Amino acid sequence: MFLIRLTFTISILLSLLAANLAAQQERPEFTNEQIDFFENNIRPVLVSKCIECHGPDAQEAELRIDSREAILKGSANGPIIDLAKASESLLLQVISHEQEIQMPPDEKLDAKQIASLKIWIELKLPWPKGKQGEITKFDSYDTIRRKHWAFQPVQSGFPLPTVKDTNWARSPLDYLVLAKLEQAGITPSPEADRRTLMRRLYLNLLGIPPTHEQVQNFINEPAVDAYEQLVDQVLASPQYGERWGRHWLDVARYSDTLGYNFQRERRFPFAYTYRDYVVRAFNQDIPYDDFIRQQLAADLMTLDDSRNLAAMGLLTVGRRYRNEQLDTDDRIDTVTRGFMGLTVACARCHDHKYDAIPTEDYYSLYGVFASARIPAEFPQIQSAEETIGYPQFARGLAVIQKELDAYDTKRAGEFTTLFRDKVLDYFVRAVGRPTEEQIKTIEQLTVRDTDIRRGQVTAWQTYLLQTIAENDPFFGILKALATVDAAKFQSTETMLREKVAALAEGTESGQINPIIKQAYLNTPPESVLELALMYATVIQQVHVDSQKEGTQLSPAQQQVHQHLIADNSPTAVTLANVTKFYNRADNNTRLGIVRKMDKYKSTTPGNPPRAMVMEEKPDPYNPVVFIRGNARRRGEAVERQFLYAIDGDDRQPFQQGGGRLELADKIAHAENPLTRRVLVNRIWTHHFGASLVASPSDFGVRCDKPVQLDLMDYLSTVLLDNDWSIKELHKEILLSATYRQASVDRPEARAVDPENTLLWRKNRQRLEYEAFRDSVMYVTEELDFRMGGLSEELTNSATNNRRAVYSFIDRQDLPGLLRVFDFPNPDSHSPQRPITTVPQQALFVMNSPVILERAKRFVQSTTFQQIEQTQRLEFLYQKFFQRQPAEEEVQVANQFFASWDTSGDEPKMDAWQQFTHLLLMTNEFMFVD
């Protein structure tokens, strides 16, 4: 992106060369002119074309070009510069692309760049002294910061352009638009009629049309500020938050599921609390800077409403990759593209290819997000008492909890019995550690290796090691021999035998248990395995004896028996430790119940809502660059700090904890050149159906300066002047003459500006899926206005008529219907929805029970049935389009009814139902003028 112009003339060239006469030694003194030549013509080439492979990060062919010394040192192929004979320099041959080695490999430098390099060599490589002279990637970043439009401060207070038609303009916005129109020789379109305006406002802001009565009232309203009043009224409607909240949920890649998980419940039980927060934030007009802060760091803020904690769902409703690095990447991407229109995530594996985002900056942000974690349990944001339906919910939950406990209890009992009955098998394995071959030879073993619960083997080992004293009357022999090397076993055992023989029999400390003494002296073991078998046999015998009816165990037997039946026995399995002994099958059974519980919690009303927050880790994460994005290749350490692209050299490392709140402050800062513009562009897009900046989430260098930058900056200033109020921003736009224009085509204007870039009319907009569906429900009097709460399956439901914003969104299996209606992929932040026209959309409207049922039921309803036959057509037009049918339309309708064939079977939908249905299918219903 460097415009390198060889602007030097012959005379400058001569003066450059003349100065060179003084520069014969190794490090000549260069003149200012020569240094300027370097800065203007050479540095940009080195930075943009060479340094990536021949700089600090990589030294292909052992060549570096980031200092004069390094260049003179040359490459693996020898010197690349010949100061004596400049034209013979290897560098010049290589960049000529005429030799075998061709640099840069992908694209030859242009002629001017090659010429400059040649002159530069002839000048003996002029290069500034000291640190200034270092070539770094920040050179090019600095150029971008200084030159790219989006990084320049938002302009405010600039004089309004003069326009000829001063009557038309209602606000500064209109002046900016009109000036460009007049320049192009186009006049703006006339104001739309009141019905059109009101439909436009309702559908754009609320996602449902007004009623006929409301339209009539507005048309007949004499007040001069009738329109302004209407705008206020519409913005105050709770349906506004549902409509505009959904726009934000696209940005936030909202979904009700975590993505792929084979065994666990995939639903997030509390994702809806984020959705409800967003809807409420729009309705309450939470200032946009706070909206940003709360979504990033509500946990670190003082909140006047604890429900605002749910704002942090922005960070947690993304896909869970079961990989912290990828989860963090998704957060960085959503936050940076969503708020600032910067594609920071591109810098995960390498410096950004185009923008001023070094990979270090990616890891600076990585450090911020990796310093936070998802808590073991999310904080409750509403008490159980306040939660409607809690008692029923709790009862249902208790039933599943009981089922889970019952399973664990049953298994604990079974394990206890099993581990005692099969104590010989477990003890031998725990102490004797027999090989597979040895196991085959021990005939006392009855449990197959594959059926062994490893947890019980370990439990015996831990017990003997940690609980049993060296001089234990029963286990003393084992403690003395179990860890002896095979080579020394014999000798150690012989010495021990004498000691044991001398010990007094008894069950007190310092004595020896007579049962084990006898067993030992009868057949002294020759290996640890035999030792294990000896003990195991004794223990098992006591266990067997204890089970015989009417047996009274001797004190010696009782001492052995205690190791099996005491509370701390390895064989004592309780609810607390039972899962340690579960194999895959047990776990699957248990997970089945856990999944049932999780599903219950995620789908049953009455579960007290919780906020999907993150919290600071006890110690902040100190980031390092992961080379090429690979967490195992740790590069240099970086600070947790903001982006160079915005803060430049002035930036300071974040100070408080992980720095999340400081990051939020940086994004929500009045001087951040991107944040307000990005928001203004998003809002504009929804109002006009076209963007000021065509890539709403990429304001980087590949994004050209928008034609309407002044307009964007003006609105950004309006936002700031009104304390970041989004509703005030809406008003500024909605009250403008620009917004109020008619959408009718004007060929003469179209000839000049076919894309309507200059805004000579209001674009006609097609309703998104949600607004279309909700409108169908609304005009047929079936829309269910209940707000908030758990998401529900709505897309294919012909009976659940809540607003579409409450649809259950499964990112792992997004309903096909949503896909065909351009609903964005919820796996990553969506800059804007595409607008496609595919037959599946039409098939839905033509054939889906979701739509058909509405027509059927509406015609059956008392509302409709009580209308006189002759009034029905008019009634439908008023209901659906807030107007009377035109004569031509009446004729078409009459022909439809006249041609109705009454012979044959009674159709499932009668004439009025079919006609009602087709009105819902019309373009008039689907488009906003």
Binding residues vs other proteins (CB under 8 A):
323, 694, 743-747, 750, 754-755, 764, 766, 816-817, 819-820, 825, 834-844, 846-849, 852, 856, 886, 888-889, 892-893, 895-896, 899, 907-909, 914-915, 917-919, 921-924, 926-927, 929
CB of 762 to other proteins, least distance (A): 12
Q: Are 428 and 442 in contact (CB under 8 A)?
A: yes
Q: Which is nearer to other proteins, 194 or 766 (CB)?
A: 766
CA distance 280 to 611: 14
CB of 848 to other proteins, least distance (A): 5
Q: Which is nearer to other proteins, 518 or 691 (CB)?
A: 691
CA distance 757 to 177: 10
CB of 347 to other proteins, least distance (A): 15
Q: Which is nearer to other proteins, 128 or 259 (CB)?
A: 259
CB of 352 to other proteins, least distance (A): 13
CA distance 322 to 73: 48
Query: 481-518 as b/e, with b when 16 or more CB fall inside 10 Å?
Result: bbebeeeebeeebeebeeebeebeebbeeeebbbbbbe
| 478-483-484 Cα angle (round to 5) | 100
Site of tokens 């300027």: 36
CB of 343 to other proteins, least distance (A): 11
Short-list 401, 447, 455, 439, CA closest to 423 = 447
What one-character DSSP code corresponds to residue 128?
Answer: -
Q: How many CA atoms lie within 13 A of 746 on its CB side?
A: 18
CA distance 563 to 463: 10
Pull the structure tokens for residue 893. 């309708």
CB of 798 to other proteins, least distance (A): 11
CB of 681 to other proteins, least distance (A): 17
Q: Which is nearer to other proteins, 392 or 840 (CB)?
A: 840
Measured on CA atoms in the order 741, 744, 749, 753, is the torsion positive or negative? Answer: positive
Pull the structure tokens for residue 814. 């997004």
CB of 599 to other proteins, least distance (A): 23
Q: Which is nearer to other proteins, 406 or 892 (CB)?
A: 892
CB of 861 to other proteins, least distance (A): 17
Q: Which is nearer to other proteins, 158 or 927 (CB)?
A: 927
CA distance 668 to 338: 12
CB of 777 to other proteins, least distance (A): 18
Written as one string, the DSSP assignment of 366-380 is HHHHHTEE--SSPPB
CA distance 267 to 603: 9
For residue 624, the surrounding DSSP H or E stretch is: strand 624-626
User: How far, in whole angstroms, is CA 319 from its chain's centroid?
Assistant: 6
CB of 887 to other proteins, least distance (A): 10
CB of 815 to other proteins, least distance (A): 9
CB of 22 to other proteins, least distance (A): 46
Count of Cβ atoms closer than 10 Å to residue 855 Cβ = 22
CA distance 829 to 338: 7
Q: Which is nearer to other proteins, 260 or 785 (CB)?
A: 260
Q: Which is nearer to other proteins, 559 or 756 (CB)?
A: 756
Pull the structure tokens for residue 441. 């030879």
CB of 32 to other proteins, least distance (A): 41
Written as one string, the DSSP assignment of 792-841 is B--TT-SS--B-GGGB---TTS--HHHHHTTPPPTTS--S-------HHH
Q: Which is nearer to other proteins, 518 or 825 (CB)?
A: 825
CB of 668 to other proteins, least distance (A): 30
Q: Which is nearer to other proteins, 222 or 754 (CB)?
A: 754
Q: Are 192 and 742 in contact (CB under 8 A)?
A: yes
Cβ neighbours of residue 831 closer than 8 Å, sequence gap 6 or more? 337, 695, 696, 697, 698
Site of tokens 């019995």: 417
Q: Which is nearer to other proteins, 373 or 750 (CB)?
A: 750
Q: Which is nearer to other proteins, 404 or 820 (CB)?
A: 820
CA distance 762 to 764: 6
CB of 764 to other proteins, least distance (A): 6
Q: Which is nearer to other proteins, 27 or 764 (CB)?
A: 764
CA distance 739 to 759: 9
Q: Which is nearer to other proteins, 743 or 807 (CB)?
A: 743
CB of 914 to other proteins, least distance (A): 5
CB of 843 to other proteins, least distance (A): 4
Q: Which is nearer to other proteins, 344 or 612 (CB)?
A: 344
CA distance 344 to 333: 6
Q: Which is nearer to other proteins, 42 or 855 (CB)?
A: 855
Secondary structure (3-state) at 927 = strand
For residue 365, the surrounding DSSP H or E stretch is: helix 359-370
Q: Which is nearer to other proteins, 2 or 321 (CB)?
A: 321
Count of Cβ atoms closer than 10 Å to residue 852 Cβ = 19
CA distance 315 to 326: 13
Written as one string, the DSSP assignment of 197-264 is HHHHHHHHHTSSPPPHHHHHHHHH---TTHHHHHHHHHHTSHHHHHHHHHHHHHHTT--SB-S--SSS
Q: Which is nearer to other proteins, 236 or 835 (CB)?
A: 835
Short-list 11, 105, 121, 104, CA closest to 49 = 104
Cβ neighbours of residue 847 closer than 8 Å, sequence gap 6 or more? none
